[in-house]
Amino acid sequence: MAGASKASTSGGGRDPPTSLLDRIRTSFRSSVGSIVFGMEDGTVSIFGLVFGVAASAPDSHAVVLAGATGATAAAISMMAGTYLEVKSTNDQATTLLASERARYEANSGELDSAIRRSLVSAGFEDSEAETVADIFSRHPETSIQIGAALDLGISEAGKRDPFVAAAWMFLTDLFAASIPVIPFAVFALARARIVSLSLTFVLLLALGIGRSAIGHRRLVPTVAETIGIGAAAACAGVLVGKFFT
Protein backbone atom coordinates (compact mmCIF):
# COMPACT_ATOMS: atom_id res chain seq x y z
CA MET A 1 0.00 0.00 0.00
CA ALA A 2 2.85 2.34 0.89
CA GLY A 3 4.47 1.69 -2.49
CA ALA A 4 1.18 2.32 -4.26
CA SER A 5 0.68 5.50 -2.28
CA LYS A 6 4.18 6.68 -3.12
CA ALA A 7 3.70 5.91 -6.80
CA SER A 8 0.40 7.75 -6.76
CA THR A 9 1.96 10.75 -5.09
CA SER A 10 4.91 10.89 -7.46
CA GLY A 11 2.70 10.32 -10.48
CA GLY A 12 5.06 7.71 -11.84
CA GLY A 13 7.77 10.33 -12.33
CA ARG A 14 5.46 12.71 -14.15
CA ASP A 15 4.87 16.28 -13.08
CA PRO A 16 1.60 16.86 -11.25
CA PRO A 17 -1.16 18.43 -13.34
CA THR A 18 -1.28 22.20 -13.27
CA SER A 19 -4.32 24.44 -13.29
CA LEU A 20 -5.25 26.68 -16.20
CA LEU A 21 -4.24 29.73 -14.16
CA ASP A 22 -0.80 28.22 -13.49
CA ARG A 23 -0.32 27.51 -17.20
CA ILE A 24 -1.31 31.07 -18.06
CA ARG A 25 1.14 32.44 -15.52
CA THR A 26 3.92 30.22 -16.82
CA SER A 27 3.28 31.18 -20.44
CA PHE A 28 3.17 34.85 -19.45
CA ARG A 29 6.54 34.63 -17.70
CA SER A 30 8.14 32.84 -20.66
CA SER A 31 6.74 35.44 -23.08
CA VAL A 32 7.11 38.59 -20.97
CA GLY A 33 9.98 39.94 -23.06
CA SER A 34 7.94 39.54 -26.25
CA ILE A 35 4.90 41.01 -24.53
CA VAL A 36 6.71 44.23 -23.58
CA PHE A 37 8.24 44.46 -27.06
CA GLY A 38 4.84 43.90 -28.68
CA MET A 39 3.18 46.54 -26.53
CA GLU A 40 5.91 49.08 -27.22
CA ASP A 41 5.79 48.37 -30.95
CA GLY A 42 2.00 48.64 -31.05
CA THR A 43 1.95 51.85 -29.01
CA VAL A 44 4.69 53.64 -30.93
CA SER A 45 3.61 52.69 -34.44
CA ILE A 46 -0.08 53.49 -33.98
CA PHE A 47 0.66 56.60 -31.93
CA GLY A 48 2.61 57.97 -34.88
CA LEU A 49 -0.12 56.94 -37.31
CA VAL A 50 -2.91 58.44 -35.24
CA PHE A 51 -1.24 61.81 -34.76
CA GLY A 52 -0.26 61.94 -38.41
CA VAL A 53 -3.88 61.49 -39.44
CA ALA A 54 -5.16 63.73 -36.64
CA ALA A 55 -2.96 66.57 -37.88
CA SER A 56 -5.05 66.89 -41.04
CA ALA A 57 -8.26 64.91 -40.42
CA PRO A 58 -11.56 66.83 -40.52
CA ASP A 59 -12.98 64.90 -37.56
CA SER A 60 -12.34 62.05 -35.11
CA HIS A 61 -14.05 59.44 -37.28
CA ALA A 62 -11.25 59.48 -39.86
CA VAL A 63 -8.67 59.01 -37.10
CA VAL A 64 -10.58 56.09 -35.58
CA LEU A 65 -10.89 54.40 -38.97
CA ALA A 66 -7.19 54.75 -39.74
CA GLY A 67 -6.09 53.87 -36.22
CA ALA A 68 -8.32 50.81 -35.84
CA THR A 69 -7.30 49.49 -39.25
CA GLY A 70 -3.62 50.05 -38.53
CA ALA A 71 -3.81 48.56 -35.03
CA THR A 72 -5.51 45.37 -36.26
CA ALA A 73 -3.15 44.92 -39.18
CA ALA A 74 -0.10 45.55 -36.99
CA ALA A 75 -1.27 43.08 -34.32
CA ILE A 76 -1.87 40.36 -36.90
CA SER A 77 1.51 41.02 -38.49
CA MET A 78 3.30 40.84 -35.13
CA MET A 79 1.40 37.67 -34.23
CA ALA A 80 2.43 35.97 -37.47
CA GLY A 81 6.02 37.14 -37.08
CA THR A 82 6.22 35.84 -33.51
CA TYR A 83 4.75 32.48 -34.48
CA LEU A 84 7.24 32.01 -37.32
CA GLU A 85 10.17 33.20 -35.20
CA VAL A 86 9.42 30.85 -32.28
CA LYS A 87 8.69 27.92 -34.59
CA SER A 88 11.93 28.48 -36.52
CA THR A 89 13.91 28.75 -33.28
CA ASN A 90 12.36 25.52 -31.99
CA ASP A 91 13.08 23.73 -35.29
CA GLN A 92 16.67 24.94 -35.19
CA ALA A 93 17.04 23.70 -31.60
CA THR A 94 15.62 20.29 -32.57
CA THR A 95 18.04 20.03 -35.50
CA LEU A 96 21.04 21.00 -33.37
CA LEU A 97 20.06 18.55 -30.64
CA ALA A 98 19.75 15.78 -33.22
CA SER A 99 23.21 16.68 -34.50
CA GLU A 100 24.58 16.62 -30.95
CA ARG A 101 22.93 13.22 -30.38
CA ALA A 102 24.48 11.82 -33.56
CA ARG A 103 27.88 13.16 -32.52
CA TYR A 104 27.54 11.49 -29.14
CA GLU A 105 26.55 8.16 -30.67
CA ALA A 106 29.55 8.34 -33.01
CA ASN A 107 32.03 9.34 -30.30
CA SER A 108 30.71 9.59 -26.76
CA GLY A 109 34.22 10.18 -25.39
CA GLU A 110 34.53 13.44 -27.34
CA LEU A 111 31.38 14.86 -25.77
CA ASP A 112 32.40 13.71 -22.28
CA SER A 113 35.76 15.44 -22.72
CA ALA A 114 34.02 18.59 -23.95
CA ILE A 115 31.82 18.60 -20.85
CA ARG A 116 34.88 18.22 -18.62
CA ARG A 117 36.63 21.12 -20.34
CA SER A 118 33.54 23.31 -20.04
CA LEU A 119 33.21 22.53 -16.34
CA VAL A 120 36.87 23.33 -15.73
CA SER A 121 36.48 26.59 -17.66
CA ALA A 122 33.50 27.41 -15.46
CA GLY A 123 35.67 27.10 -12.34
CA PHE A 124 35.38 23.43 -11.36
CA GLU A 125 38.45 21.64 -10.05
CA ASP A 126 39.76 18.88 -12.33
CA SER A 127 38.63 16.19 -9.88
CA GLU A 128 35.18 17.75 -9.56
CA ALA A 129 34.79 18.03 -13.32
CA GLU A 130 35.88 14.41 -13.70
CA THR A 131 33.32 13.24 -11.13
CA VAL A 132 30.46 15.19 -12.70
CA ALA A 133 31.39 14.10 -16.23
CA ASP A 134 31.54 10.44 -15.12
CA ILE A 135 28.04 10.75 -13.68
CA PHE A 136 26.77 12.27 -16.91
CA SER A 137 28.44 9.53 -18.96
CA ARG A 138 26.21 6.97 -17.26
CA HIS A 139 23.17 8.92 -18.48
CA PRO A 140 23.64 9.45 -22.24
CA GLU A 141 20.56 11.61 -22.81
CA THR A 142 21.58 13.91 -19.95
CA SER A 143 25.07 14.17 -21.44
CA ILE A 144 23.57 15.16 -24.77
CA GLN A 145 21.36 17.79 -23.16
CA ILE A 146 24.23 19.19 -21.10
CA GLY A 147 26.58 19.16 -24.07
CA ALA A 148 24.06 21.00 -26.22
CA ALA A 149 23.47 23.56 -23.48
CA LEU A 150 27.20 24.16 -22.98
CA ASP A 151 28.30 24.11 -26.61
CA LEU A 152 25.23 25.49 -28.39
CA GLY A 153 23.27 27.28 -25.69
CA ILE A 154 20.09 25.30 -26.43
CA SER A 155 17.91 22.88 -24.51
CA GLU A 156 14.52 21.19 -24.73
CA ALA A 157 13.39 23.23 -21.72
CA GLY A 158 14.16 26.44 -23.61
CA LYS A 159 11.59 25.75 -26.31
CA ARG A 160 8.42 27.85 -26.36
CA ASP A 161 4.96 27.09 -27.68
CA PRO A 162 4.62 29.17 -30.89
CA PHE A 163 0.82 29.34 -30.59
CA VAL A 164 0.99 30.68 -27.04
CA ALA A 165 3.72 33.19 -27.86
CA ALA A 166 1.79 34.38 -30.93
CA ALA A 167 -1.44 34.73 -28.92
CA TRP A 168 0.27 36.82 -26.25
CA MET A 169 1.84 39.01 -28.92
CA PHE A 170 -1.48 39.57 -30.71
CA LEU A 171 -3.42 40.44 -27.55
CA THR A 172 -0.83 42.76 -26.04
CA ASP A 173 0.07 44.48 -29.31
CA LEU A 174 -3.62 45.08 -30.09
CA PHE A 175 -4.31 46.33 -26.56
CA ALA A 176 -1.40 48.77 -26.60
CA ALA A 177 -2.16 49.94 -30.13
CA SER A 178 -5.77 50.65 -29.13
CA ILE A 179 -4.81 53.11 -26.40
CA PRO A 180 -3.97 56.04 -28.71
CA VAL A 181 -7.06 55.33 -30.83
CA ILE A 182 -9.84 54.98 -28.24
CA PRO A 183 -10.02 58.69 -27.26
CA PHE A 184 -10.88 59.59 -30.85
CA ALA A 185 -13.88 57.25 -30.64
CA VAL A 186 -15.13 59.04 -27.52
CA PHE A 187 -14.20 62.72 -27.81
CA ALA A 188 -14.18 65.43 -30.42
CA LEU A 189 -10.95 65.87 -32.34
CA ALA A 190 -9.34 68.62 -30.26
CA ARG A 191 -9.97 66.98 -26.89
CA ALA A 192 -9.21 63.50 -28.24
CA ARG A 193 -5.69 64.63 -29.15
CA ILE A 194 -5.00 65.71 -25.57
CA VAL A 195 -6.52 62.57 -24.03
CA SER A 196 -4.72 60.29 -26.49
CA LEU A 197 -1.41 62.03 -25.80
CA SER A 198 -1.92 61.71 -22.02
CA LEU A 199 -2.92 58.03 -22.09
CA THR A 200 -0.10 57.12 -24.45
CA PHE A 201 2.40 58.95 -22.23
CA VAL A 202 1.23 56.92 -19.21
CA LEU A 203 1.44 53.67 -21.18
CA LEU A 204 4.94 54.45 -22.45
CA LEU A 205 5.96 55.35 -18.90
CA ALA A 206 4.71 51.96 -17.68
CA LEU A 207 6.46 50.16 -20.55
CA GLY A 208 9.69 51.96 -19.77
CA ILE A 209 9.46 50.83 -16.15
CA GLY A 210 8.72 47.29 -17.37
CA ARG A 211 11.74 47.31 -19.71
CA SER A 212 13.91 48.50 -16.87
CA ALA A 213 12.72 45.73 -14.56
CA ILE A 214 13.02 42.95 -17.14
CA GLY A 215 16.45 43.98 -18.43
CA HIS A 216 17.77 45.17 -15.04
CA ARG A 217 18.56 48.49 -16.64
CA ARG A 218 18.72 51.96 -15.08
CA LEU A 219 15.18 53.25 -14.61
CA VAL A 220 15.37 56.89 -15.68
CA PRO A 221 17.36 56.41 -18.94
CA THR A 222 15.17 53.45 -19.94
CA VAL A 223 11.94 55.36 -19.31
CA ALA A 224 13.30 58.42 -21.11
CA GLU A 225 14.35 56.27 -24.07
CA THR A 226 10.91 54.64 -24.31
CA ILE A 227 9.03 57.93 -24.11
CA GLY A 228 11.48 59.53 -26.53
CA ILE A 229 10.83 56.83 -29.14
CA GLY A 230 7.09 57.42 -28.82
CA ALA A 231 7.55 61.20 -29.14
CA ALA A 232 9.71 60.73 -32.23
CA ALA A 233 7.02 58.55 -33.82
CA ALA A 234 4.35 61.16 -33.08
CA CYS A 235 6.48 63.97 -34.53
CA ALA A 236 7.22 61.93 -37.65
CA GLY A 237 3.51 61.19 -38.08
CA VAL A 238 2.56 64.85 -37.70
CA LEU A 239 5.22 65.97 -40.19
CA VAL A 240 4.08 63.43 -42.77
CA GLY A 241 0.45 64.37 -42.18
CA LYS A 242 1.21 68.08 -42.62
CA PHE A 243 3.34 67.42 -45.69
CA PHE A 244 0.54 65.69 -47.60
CA THR A 245 -2.20 68.19 -46.73
* pLDDT above 90: residue 9: no
* pLDDT above 50: residue 8: no
Reported as a single tens digit per residue, the pLDDT across 162-218 is: 888 888 889 889 999 999 999 999 999 989 999 999 999 999 999 899 888 888 889
Reported pTM: 0.69
Reported as a single tens digit per residue, the pLDDT across 88-134 is: 888 877 777 777 677 766 666 666 677 777 777 777 777 777 777 77
Reported as a single tens digit per residue, the pLDDT across 37-63 is: 788 888 888 988 888 888 888 889 999
Q: Helix/strand/coil (H, E, C) string of the chain?
A: CHHHHHHHHHHHHCCCCCCHHHHHHHHHHHHHHHHHHHHHHHHHHHHHHHHHHHCCCCCHHHHHHHHHHHHHHHHHHHHHHHHHHHHHHHHHHHHHHHHHHHHHHHCHHHHHHHHHHHHHHCCCCHHHHHHHHHHHHCCHHHHHHHHHHHHHCCCHHHCCCHHHHHHHHHHHHHHHHHCCCHHHHHCCHHHHHHHHHHHHHHHHHHHHHHHHHHHCCCHHHHHHHHHHHHHHHHHHHHHHHHHCC
